[in-house]
Each structure stands twice: as structure tokens, then as C-alpha cells.
Chains A and B, each alone.
Chain A
């Protein structure tokens, strides 16, 4: 039996503040200070439960605001796939105060002060962000607080945006790799909503109504289902005062935010699929079920993926790419709220077929399962994770983006303790997760077969 740690412990010495930051008695009446870790301070608005993360970062007068709603395609049911993404688009149609008809569209107002503005939707979350000169913080907060509960969501906007999204869908369908990944998820998952693509199925995009989307919005877009991150060159008190001013008057949700209770049944038996599509290059993809991102094995799986495919010293590079078998070979562990996938993808070099690539990947997986990893490989992978993590935190936006994924996984503190947790991993941890999760009889394997017909 493999040892499988449950939830990871929090480190009190580094991750929790010994004393509250100085926010003054006025703000202390409005916010609860929850704690801090790695320079990030967590507050909660007492009036409605909005979680606020603040970090003073950098020397440039630039800040990023990012609001993360804990709703993604994971929360969608049959017939409503793509609703989260559709709603994300509609949120830019604005409110009574900010809309195109008044000449105050959200993009126009924010971009006219030089803000970089956008939003993304993924399996577990939807996020909206603005990166701008710090002096425009209040404008970003004004817009985000207004559209949290006052989005227009009218039928005319739904219809004009429907064709935009269908075009986005069609664009994705052109891409063989994207279709291959959609097939992987819908093959590996038969019950859990991770099985449908975030953009949704075409027929659902075509049929969803303004009322459906209003209902979705009224279910999930509340302060108690959101986290507001403010990172960059802005003073703590100034930031919190503005948050209190803008978000404080919004009520919390009248009903509990519904949870997703579906769990993916254990897979017993390999599943295989093929995608035949016009093109020039093939691919092999594999997916192995993994625990959710808050599980104690998540970091070890991340390090294992680095040992397999992190740079030229990795096993895949040496065995597949450097030998000329594959154009590339990559491993990644998806860190999600619920059980996710450890994914391998490789594309054969000219003259090599998919089956040969699958065999080569299998040889490497068998080797790591049977022989384990070497101590030197582990040390190097830890260094790589540390370097990439630090490089990935080199701006206010980059930090907010990493926090966003940790929030989506279920706990922003996953961001804070990551480097310490990785440093503490042993060879036995990596060997164990390889043996535990890389089982052939619970994997899904797909081939992209290029149909070469010329142009």
C-alpha cells in the first residue's frame, strides 16, 4: 500500500503573521485580517465575505487587480456547457454605468488610461484583471464592483456575442491539438464535468438563453464567491479603503453557492481513441488520473513531470527528442480543484509513427516506475521548479496570475508554501507517486493521425 498524505499542513512560522498589519481602527471595523504568507496579506470584508489578497510589490508605480470567481466549466450541467465562458464575454458588455451605448464601455474606459484588460475562463474559475499605472486603481475597482452585481446581460447582447463565441469555437476546431485534448478529457472523465470543454459544446452555445445566463450569474457572481487580489505599487491602506468603498455595499449571496458533488468513478481498463484530421504531423497523448491540487501528492507529481520533461537533461528529451524519435515530448500535472490528469504529449519526427512514440513513452514510464528516480535528478528538478516559480513571479500581473490558479484549486496559500513543500520532497515521494498514479489500466491514450492530402 502506498502512503498517501492527506491535506498538507500550514507552516505557522512563515505563513502566518505574528501581528496584524497596521490598517487603523476604521479599516479594522470593516475587514478581518486573516493572515499572511510570502508577502501576501489576506483580509475578508465583514459585510459580505469578499476575500481580499494584498501585496506590495515592485518599485514601479504599476498595479494589477484581479478578481477571481470560484466558478468554471466544472460548475456547468448538460445543456449549459460553455455558460461560464459565455458569461465572461457578456461581462464586458457592461452595466448601466459602463456600456458602449453611453460611450463608456469597459474596454474603452480602462484602455484609455493604458490598462491591460482581459478575462479568462477555465475549469475551476473565471478571472477578470486590469494591469495599469497605480493611480488608476480606483477606476478598476469601480468597474469590477459594479459588474459584480449590475451586469446588463440583455438579449440583444447575448445574440451579438453568441456569434462571436461560435467563431471562437470554430477557430478552436481548426486546431488538431486542441481537439485532441478535448477528446482526452472527455474520454478520461465519464461523470465529472471536467469532461466537457470550457468553451462548451456547439449546440449548447447555440441554444443558451439570456435567462439561463442571468440565472448562472445570479448563482455564482457574489462577493462571498470571489477573491480580489491587488498586487503592486499601491499602499495597503489606500487599497483597502477603496475596496471597502466599492465592494462594501454589495450584499452576500442570498443562497448558498452550490457545490459540485460528482466524483469521477475509478477507471478500470485503458481507454483509447483516435482523431483523424487533415494535417502534416501526428501526436500521442496520454492521461493518468491524479488527485486534486490540494492533495499532498500534487507537488510530487509536479516534480515528477519536471524530471520527465524539464529541459535538455530530462528523461524525455534524452530518450525521445535528442535521439530524433520525437519533435517534442512533454509531461505536465494539472493542478485542479478536483481529481485531474497527469498528461503526456509527444509528436513523432518525420518517418516515425505514433505507435513507436507510445512505446518510447512507455519505456520511460516503466523505467521510472520500476527503478525510481535518481537523487541527482530530484535535486535538479527542485532547482528547476524553484527557478521557474521565481521567474513566474516577476511582475504584479504574474503574481496575481499564480494566485488565481491557487485560488481556483481551493486555497491561495498553495501559492505561498509551494517552494518549501517542493524542497521537502524526497526521492521516496517521487517514486511513490510514479508507482501510484502512472497505472496503464487506468489511463486514456489518444492518437492524432494526420491525413496528408496536400493543400
Chain B
């Protein structure tokens, strides 16, 4: 349940430090023309900030202060926990979240980082987390020497260096710690059933998430071919699924496929997500299954591969036109071990993939793999029986 502690930890970082309270910090950020936020994954704690050019010094000061000396005020902790509880309750009203979460319970074991616990379990875990848990986690995280900082934009180097020097000094007393080691876990498959229904009231529109585990790491040579393979199937409006299920047959507003949860430390899964009205559920699911099965049986064509490679390269360039997205792409490259020039090399990496690589990936990782199917929404008995018969 470490992830719950990390979730609460990052939400406490902007709630005041041992030096200043949350209001003073917020006021200073606003006056500096800056903002920042924190996030966590099972491998990293991320922060991202942006500011007008003159605000970079104050922004970095605040981030380092919050990272090194959060106050963990018990009253604020109760408030954060209550807000988190509210967010969990809201997500439990979403058919797409519930379908996707259930799928991840079907294909991962509970000790896998991608496993999604039931909302009730999550709420209980948050309520059981204490301030002491956060203090312990913070002490562990702040001792880590692994630290990547990416800055993009009109940068005042002296302001940055000064803030950096002060910021690093805040961590000096910790004496460093063990490097982050991520246990490599390629596969954690446990199909408890092939089709599972998550019944919700007042949700006449249904969401379906279907998929299977993918024993590939982000750093494996097979990752990019597998990624392009899933993109051809359902990566955008001109993909096979959108063309055949939405455009030709009008069965859904949205359908997509992709790889999810794959990192350098562990494998993830392939997933198809589709939204369907009551009257289209069975037909929509049937057509989706057929499009997926046909594609995995036939493989991709040369024309499809070339077209989607151009799409991925071009859209990557377009996406990197903001400072924030460029900084995130550089950081990702460093985390993956490809270095800071990753935004330049990524397009080459896509270009080098051949149709044979993609079809080999399909044959190895996608073809004839049984899919777990998760359906969430208001489901009547007849439909439920029909869905379960289709297994």
C-alpha cells in the first residue's frame, strides 16, 4: 500500500513548510507569476512548475523548500485525506474509471504496481495512513540522490544557479542514501475470469475495457514496435477501430487502444476502451472483438505502418512546441536512460521500426492472447447473461 502513502505525501507538499504556511507560499507564488504541482508514480516523485521569466528564482526556492521541509500539519493532513476521499468517491461514479480499474484487477496480482484496488479498499487505506507514515516516506525520498531537473525557456542562469545551490544545500544534512532501485517485473498475470461486470445504478451508457498483460519493459527493443502496433489498431481517429466501429457502423462515440502502465521497471498491459449505449452494447462489443482479432491475425500492412509512423513523428513534434511539454519529454528521456536528447532521437526510433518488427511483435505478444473484458454501467439481467455467454 506504499502508493497510498506517496499519494498523500505529494498532496501535503503544497500545504505549508516548517518556514511558511500554505497561504504565504501561495501568495508568493502568485506574486512571482509562478505555479507548481507534484505527482508520484511507483518509481518517481515528480514536480513541475512554470513561471514568467523573472519568477524562476522564487519558484525554485519554494519547490526546494517544500520538498525538503514540509510541515505535515495534522489538521491539514485530515483535510487532505478528506479531499482525497471525495475524489475517490467521485471516481467511483465514472463508468470508464470503474471499467478500467476492474480490468486491472483482472489481469494483475495485488502486489503489482498497476493493480487497481476497489474504491472501498482505497478509502480504507487512506483512512489508515498516518502523519508518521508520511514523515517516514518523506525521509526516505529526500535521502535519494537521484534527482533530475530540466529547465526550458528564457532562463536567467544566475538566478537558477543561485536557487539550485541553495536548494541542494537544504538536503545536505541527509547524507545521501541508497539509489532508487526498481525491481524488474515483466509479467504478473492472473486471469480470474474472462468477462466481469461492474454494476452501477443510473448509468445507462456503458464503458468497456478489454485487454491483457504485456510482458515488455519500456527499455526493451520490442516496446516501440508493440506501441506502433497498438497505435495502428486504435491510436487515433483514422485507426482501424475508429474507422470500423465508429465511422462505418456508428456504434460508439469513442474507441481507442494502446499500451498502458509499461515502465522501465515493470510490464504493463494492452487495452481497448470503448463507450457504448445500452442498445449497442452487444453488437459494439462483438464488432470490436472482430476488428481486434482480425488485426492480430492479419498483422499490419506496409501502408498502415508508414502512415502511422508519420503520424507519431509529426504529432510528437507538434506537441513539443510548449516549454512544459518539452521539459517533460526531456525528463522522460533521462528517466528512461536515453539522455536529454531523447526528443530528437525518439523520432528516429520511430522511423527505424519496420513492418516486419511490428508484425513480429503482434505475433509474439498479441496474437491468440485471450482478452479480459470488463463492463461497467447499468446492466440488465438479460444483457448480463448474454455478455457472460460470450466468454
The answer to whether A173 touches B204 (Cβ under 8 A) is yes
Task: List residues of chain B with CB within 8 A of the CB of A133.
Answer: 314, 317-318
Q: Which of B27, B78, B85, B315 contacts A380 (CB 8 A)?
A: B27
What separation, in Å, do the CA atoms of A167 and B251 have in the docked complex?
Answer: 8
Q: Is B205 an interface residue (CB 8 A)?
A: yes
B237 engages A279 (CB within 8 Å): no
Nearest chain B CB to A351 CB, angstrom units: 9
Tell me the minimal C-beta distance from A428 to chain B in angstroms.
22
Q: How far is the CB of A26 from chain B (nearest CB, A)?
A: 31
B250 to chain A, nearest CB (A): 4
For the complex, what is the distance from the CA of A232 to the CA of B317, rounded to whole Å? 13
Contact partner, B250, options A164, A328, A455, Cβ 8 Å: A164
For window 372-386 of B, CB contacts with A under 8 Å fall at 377
Does residue B312 face the partner (Cβ distance < 8 Å to A)?
yes
A313/B27 contact (C-beta < 8 A), A322-B79, A455-B199 known:
yes
> Does A349 lie within 8 Å of B86, measured CB to CB?
yes
The segment from A103-111, A260-268, A296-304 found at the interface with B is A103-111
Knowing A62-B318, A164-B253, A167-B275, the reply to whether A112 touches B89 (Cβ < 8 A) is no
Complex CA gap A62/B246 in Å reads 30
Interface residue? A60 (CB, 8 A)? yes
Choose the segment among A205-213, A389-397, A413-421 that binds chain B (4+ C-beta atoms closer than 8 Å): A389-397
Given the known interface contacts A327-B83, A387-B33, the answer about A168 and B253 at a Cβ–Cβ threshold of 8 Å is yes
Once the chains bind, are B318 and A171 in contact (CB under 8 Å)? no
Q: How far is the CB of B62 from chain A (nearest CB, A)?
A: 13
Give the contact stretch, choosing among B138-146, B220-228, B321-329.
B321-329
Asked if B38 is at the interface (CB within 8 A of a chain A CB), the reply is no
Decide if A159 is an interface residue (CB 8 Å cutoff): yes
CB of A384 within 8 A of CB of B30, answer yes
Q: At the interface, yes or no: B338 with Cβ under 8 Å from chain A? A: no
A167-B280, A383-B31 known; A114 vs B318 contact (CB < 8 Å):
yes
- CB <8 Å contact, B26 and A311: yes
Interface size class of A (residues with CB under 8 A): 35 or more
Give Cα distance in the complex from A115 to B321, angstroms. 13
Give Cα distance in the complex from A117 to B280, angstroms.
27
Residues on A with C-beta less than 8 A from B202 are 174, 277-279, 451
**Which B residues are CB-close (under 8 A) to A166?**
277
List chain B residues, Cβ under 8 A from A167: 205, 251-253, 275-277, 280
Whether A160 contacts B247 in the complex (CB less than 8 A), given A133-B317, A167-B275, A394-B322, comes out as yes
Q: Is the CB of A159 within 8 A of B52?
A: no
Task: Known contacts A111-B311, A112-B238, A327-B87; decide if A312 and B26 are in contact (CB<8 Å).
Answer: yes
Q: Let me know if B198 is at the binding interface, CB within 8 A.
A: yes
Could you say which of A111, A171, A278, A328 contacts B205, with CB atoms under 8 Å apart?
A171
Q: Which of B90-98, B157-165, B166-174 contacts A (4 or more CB under 8 A)?
A: B90-98
Out of A58, A161, A311, A327, name the residue touching B82 (CB < 8 Å): A327
A318 vs B24: C-alpha distance in the bound complex, in angstroms?
13
B80-118: which have CB < 8 Å to A? 82-83, 85-87, 89-90, 92-93, 95
> Please, which residues of chain A bring their CB within 8 A of the CB of B246?
164
Partner of B35, one of A161, A170, A386, A387: A387
B34 contacts partner chain A, Cβ-Cβ < 8 Å: yes
The residue from A115, A277, A328 contacting B318, defined by CB atoms under 8 A apart: A115
A104-138 to B contact mask, C-beta < 8 Å, 1/0: 01011001111111000000000000011100100
B33's partner among A161, A176, A383, A453 (CB-CB below 8 A) is A383
Whether A112 pairs with B307 at a CB distance below 8 angstroms is: yes
Cβ of A245 < 8 Å from any Cβ of B?
A: no
Query: Are A394 and B31 also in contact (CB < 8 A) when A133-B318, A174-B205 are?
Result: no
Q: Which of B6-39 contact A (CB under 8 A)?
A: 14, 22-23, 26-27, 30-31, 33-35
Q: Is the CB of A161 within 8 A of B250?
A: yes
Residues of B within 8 A of A113 (CB): 310-311, 314
Residues on B with C-beta less than 8 A from A349 are: 82-83, 86
| Cross-interface CB contact of A114 among B78, B247, B312, cutoff 8 Å | B312
Q: Judging by beta carbons under 8 Å apart, are A313 and B26 in contact?
A: yes
Within 8 A of A (CB), among B236-270: 236-238, 242-243, 246-254
Using known A-B contacts A131-B318, A277-B202, determine if residue A164 contacts B252 with beta carbons closer than 8 Å. yes
| Cα separation A167 to B275 with both chains bound (whole Å) | 8
**Which residues A53-93 have CB closer than 8 A to chain B?**
58, 60-62, 92
CB proximity of A160 to chain B, nearest CB, Å: 4
Contacts of B4 in A (CB 8 A): none
Whether A324 lies near B238 (C-beta < 8 A) is: no
Contact flags (1/0) for A159-186 with B, using CB distance below 8 Å?
Answer: 1111111111011011010000000000
Chain B contact residues, CB within 8 Å of chain A? 14, 22-23, 26-27, 30-31, 33-35, 50, 52, 78-79, 82-83, 85-87, 89-90, 92-93, 95, 198-205, 236-238, 242-243, 246-254, 275-278, 280, 307, 310-324, 377
Q: Could you show 18 A-B contacts with beta carbons less than 8 Å apart?
A: A111-B237, A112-B238, A113-B314, A164-B246, A164-B250, A280-B90, A312-B22, A318-B23, A327-B82, A327-B83, A349-B82, A349-B83, A350-B82, A387-B35, A394-B323, A395-B321, A451-B202, A455-B200
